[in-house]
């Protein structure tokens, strides 16, 4: 696995990379300033080398050699410090803008993108990979430009000594090229493998650490421990391989550099012996040759670094190239009233079809329950109504109007949806209740919806009330409490369409009855669609739809379906057994 990953042939698309940079809003003025400082340092450096050669040759006149040498050295140091400040500012700008760009894209990607890729790996893309890209620009691309300018200035200066000397230097410089090209390709594969292993490790540890209760209740500590150790072992092996290659390449690099230095000295000595150049010019030539050797080594180092970072740029580019949800195209959705119709709908997750030619009518102004065996498509119906996934065929309409004609930005806000997870964010109860609202509800409004959800007494018992922090993911709350607060938040939106996916599953019997009594009161005359698995909850429905294997098995008024449908009859018999 490791070697196939290292020596893979696909290294990413330059087109994607440059297209991504155009979207990143790079700080071009700061970059131009950085280049200006660098060019100034290069021009002064050429003069400093010549003055230094004269000093080595014994020319020590203070006015014409020593003083100018001191002046250009001080100016170079000042410009170098300013250049370092500008470089760091540019890097900070890029990190911020790149992270904004990827995060903006992340929240606009369709849900199917996160079904195919691990959401937690997005953390690594936004933090580590964006930093790699900013380093690529400031530590590689910009130095490549300044290095090219520096090489041109040096060769131009050497040509003033002797044109043949310049061309002889150009001829002997490429000793490094083949060696470093191979090492660059190898380092790319190794670093990309390290990044991949670290991202997988981050995702695995984050997932298990965030669900430690499940790990312990399932008694899977040892297996999860072993799985984590295996991820760490894979990351360790990739790091060791990278270190080993680095240690092998270093002495080879040094030998190549020494050989090239010896040849350079011999060539310069030959020109000096023939009288083609003076002693100060020969010393300056050697200094310039050393600088060019270092520049070439840097260039090949840039190549190696570029190849190692290319994996990060390719992963971010793939995110940026992924199609986003179009949220603003379409009509503004107002009041979503009327019956909900799925007409000859085709839908599949990937290659596996779930619905084929499915037609369902959900009556308006009633509470409709969708029930059926696991995997029959109950939650998917709610997701399609909310347009979380695109359908492959047919239409979904509300009040006779195709929902695809509404803009997503306004359509989803025109309904309330409580998902199975009942997600709460780190923050206060008020923050979570008001999530997504553009208004600031009063405490009286919050009291009303919390009373409806049967959670007001708990809020009043807290010293900080609605300003109580709930911890990450609502960790300080029980499952039933999280569900109550999530229902309260949905009711606070005051929409005419409410979708509930197992929204009361974690509540006790009295809690469910109290919440459903409140929902029936608040949503009187409005449309409620919910998914349930228990007989107590479906008793709250006016209308029931039974799904099985992606098709409608039965649909009708509650009493009729409960009395005639085998699946519902079994659910109700299980409820009676639990009550006994």
How far, in Å, CA of 407 to CA of 327, rounded? Answer: 6
Closest C-alpha among 164, 308, 327 to residue 249:
308
Question: Which pLDDT band, with edges at 50, 70 and 90, does 284 fall under?
Answer: confident
Tokens 């606009």 correspond to what residue? 108
| pLDDT over 50 (residue 580) | no
Question: Which pLDDT band, with edges at 50, 70 and 90, does 485 fall under?
Answer: very high
Contact 236, 197 (CB under 8 A): no
Contact 119, 112 (CB under 8 A): no
The predicted model gives 510-536 an average pLDDT of 90
Element (H, E) at 527: strand 527-531
Q: Nearest 5 degrees, angle CA 207-CA 208-CA 211?
A: 90
How do residues 95-118 score in pLDDT, each as one tens digit? Answer: 888 888 888 888 888 888 877 666
Contact 94, 134 (CB under 8 A): yes
State the chain's mean pLDDT as an integer: 84
Percent with pLDDT over 70 in the chain: 88
Contact 247, 190 (CB under 8 A): no
Closest C-alpha among 491, 568, 551, 504 to residue 530:
504
Among 237-241, 334-338, 448-452, the minimum mean pLDDT is found in 237-241
- Kindly report the number of other CB atoms within 10 A of residue 241's CB atom: 18
Q: In what order do the strands lie in the sheet with 551-557?
A: 416-418, 497-501, 527-531, 367-371, 543-548, 551-557
Domain spans in the chain, listed from the N-terminal domain onward: 8-321, 340-579
> Considering the domain 8-321 in this protein, what is its CATH number?
1.20.1560.10
Q: In terms of pLDDT, which residue wins out, 401 or 321?
A: 401
Region at 462 (left for phi over 0; alpha for psi -120 to 50; beta for the rest)? beta
How far, in Å, CA of 146 to CA of 87, rounded? Answer: 13
How far, in Å, CA of 392 to CA of 384, rounded? Answer: 11
Question: Which pLDDT band, with edges at 50, 70 and 90, does 402 fall under?
Answer: very high
pLDDT for the residue 259: 72
Non-local (6+) Cβ contacts of 291 within 8 A are: 45, 49, 150, 154
Closest C-alpha among 123, 144, 267 to residue 200:
123
Q: What are phi and psi of 502, to 5 degrees?
A: 50, 40
Tokens 């969708």 correspond to what residue? 370
- Kindly report the number of other CB atoms within 10 A of residue 549's CB atom: 11
How far, in Å, CA of 431 to CA of 88, rounded? Answer: 36
How far, in Å, CA of 336 to CA of 497, rounded? Answer: 7
pLDDT for the residue 445: 93
How far, in Å, CA of 532 to CA of 420, rounded? Answer: 10
pLDDT for the residue 324: 86
Q: Are strands 497-501 and 416-418 parallel, antiparallel or unpaired?
A: parallel
How far, in Å, CA of 384 to CA of 417, rounded? Answer: 12
pLDDT for the residue 407: 93
Strand partners, 416: 498
pLDDT for the residue 545: 96
Token pair, residue 216, equals: 């312990």
Residue 24 CB-half CA count within 13 A = 29
Among 186-190, 248-252, 427-431, the minimum mean pLDDT is found in 186-190
| pLDDT over 90 (residue 181) | no
Tokens 């109700």 correspond to what residue? 572
Element (H, E) at 555: strand 551-557
Question: Which pLDDT band, with edges at 50, 70 and 90, does 1 fall under?
Answer: very low
Single pTM value for the model: 0.69
How far, in Å, CA of 483 to CA of 319, rounded? Answer: 33
Among 8-17, 78-87, 488-497, the minimum mean pLDDT is found in 8-17
Question: What torsion do the CA atoms of 99, 104, 110, 113 make, to the nearest 10 degrees?
Answer: -10
Token pair, residue 485, equals: 């607060």
How do residues 443-456 score in pLDDT, each as one tens digit? Answer: 999 999 999 999 99
Element (H, E) at 151: helix 142-161
Residue 280 C-alpha from the chain's centroid: 56
The SS3 of residue 497 is strand
Contact 185, 303 (CB under 8 A): no
Contact 362, 545 (CB under 8 A): yes
> Considering the domain 340-579 in this protein, what is its CATH number?
3.40.50.300
Among 40-44, 153-157, 206-210, 239-243, the minimum mean pLDDT is found in 206-210
The predicted model gives 347-371 an average pLDDT of 92
The predicted model gives 45-68 an average pLDDT of 85
- Kindly report the number of other CB atoms within 10 A of residue 86's CB atom: 21
Among 73-77, 219-223, 224-228, 521-525, the minimum mean pLDDT is found in 219-223
pLDDT for the residue 170: 78
Can you point out the beta strands (E) in 333-379?
Answer: 340-349, 352-362, 367-371
Length of the chain: 580
């Amino acid at each position: 696995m490791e070697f196939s990953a290292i020596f893979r042939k696909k290294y990413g698309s330059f087109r994607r990379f440059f297209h991504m940079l155009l979207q990143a809003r790079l700080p071009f003025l700061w970059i131009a300033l950085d280049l200006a400082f660098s060019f100034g340092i290069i021009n002064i450096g050429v003069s400093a080398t010549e003055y230094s050669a004269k000093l080595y040759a014994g020319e020590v006149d203070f006015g014409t050699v020593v003083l100018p040498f001191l002046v250009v050295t001080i100016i170079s140091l000042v410009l170098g410090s300013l250049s370092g400040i500008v470089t760091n500012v540019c890097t900070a700008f890029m990190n911020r803008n790149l992270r904004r760009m990827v995060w903006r894209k992340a929240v606009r990607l369709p849900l199917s993108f996160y079904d195919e890729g691990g959401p937690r790996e997005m953390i690594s893309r936004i933090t580590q990979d964006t930093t790699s890209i900013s380093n690529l620009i400031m530590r590689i691309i910009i130095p490549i430009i300044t290095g090219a300018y520096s090489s041109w200035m040096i060769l131009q200066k050497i040509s003033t000594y002797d044109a043949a000397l310049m061309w002889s230097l150009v001829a002997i410089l490429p000793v490094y090229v083949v060696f470093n090209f191979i090492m660059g390709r190898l380092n790319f594969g190794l670093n990309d493998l390290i990044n991949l292993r670290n991202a997988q490790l981050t995702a695995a540890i984050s997932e298990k650490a965030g669900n430690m209760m499940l790990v312990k209740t399932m008694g899977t500590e040892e297996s999860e421990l072993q799985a984590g150790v295996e991820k760490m072992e894979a990351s360790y092996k990739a790091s060791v391989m990278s270190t080993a290659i680095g240690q092998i390449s270093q002495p080879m690099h040094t030998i190549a550099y020494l050989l090239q230095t010896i040849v350079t000295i011999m060539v310069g000595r030959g020109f000096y012996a023939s009288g083609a150049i003076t002693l100060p010019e020969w010393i300056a030539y050697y200094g310039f040759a050393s600088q060019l050797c270092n520049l070439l080594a840097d260039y090949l180092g840039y190549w190696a670094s570029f190849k190692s970072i290319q994996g990060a740029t390719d992963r971010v580019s793939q995110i940026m190239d992924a199609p986003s949800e179009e949220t603003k195209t379409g009509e503004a959705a107002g009041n979503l009233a009327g019956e909900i119709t799925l007409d000859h709908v085709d839908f599949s997750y990937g290659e596996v079809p779930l619905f084929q030619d499915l037609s369902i009518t959900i009556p308006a102004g009633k509470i409709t329950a969708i029930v059926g065996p696991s995997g029959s498509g109950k939650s998917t119906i709610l997701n399609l109504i909310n347009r979380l996934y695109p359908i492959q065929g047919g239409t979904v309409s509300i009040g006779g109007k195709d929902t695809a004609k509404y803009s997503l930005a306004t359509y989803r806000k025109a309904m309330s949806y409580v998902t199975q997870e009942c997600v709460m964010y780190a923050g206060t109860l008020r923050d979570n209740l008001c999530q997504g609202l553009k208004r600031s509800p009063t405490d009286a409004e919050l009291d009303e919806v919390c009373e409806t959800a049967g959670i007001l007494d708990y809020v009043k018992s807290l010293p900080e009330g609605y300003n109580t922090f709930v911890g990450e993911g609502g960790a300080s709350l029980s499952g039933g409490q999280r569900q109550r607060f999530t229902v309260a938040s949905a009711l606070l939106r005051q929409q005419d369409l409410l979708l509930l996916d197992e929204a009361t599953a974690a509540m006790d019997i009295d809690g469910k009855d109290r919440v459903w009594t409140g929902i029936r009161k608040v949503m009187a005359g409005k449309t409620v669609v919910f998914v349930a698995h228990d007989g107590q909850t479906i008793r709250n429905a006016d209308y029931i739809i039974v799904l099985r294997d992606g098709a409608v098995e039965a649909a009708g008024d509650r009493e009729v379906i409960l009395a005639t449908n085998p699946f519902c009859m079994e659910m109700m018999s299980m409820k009676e057994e639990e009550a006994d």
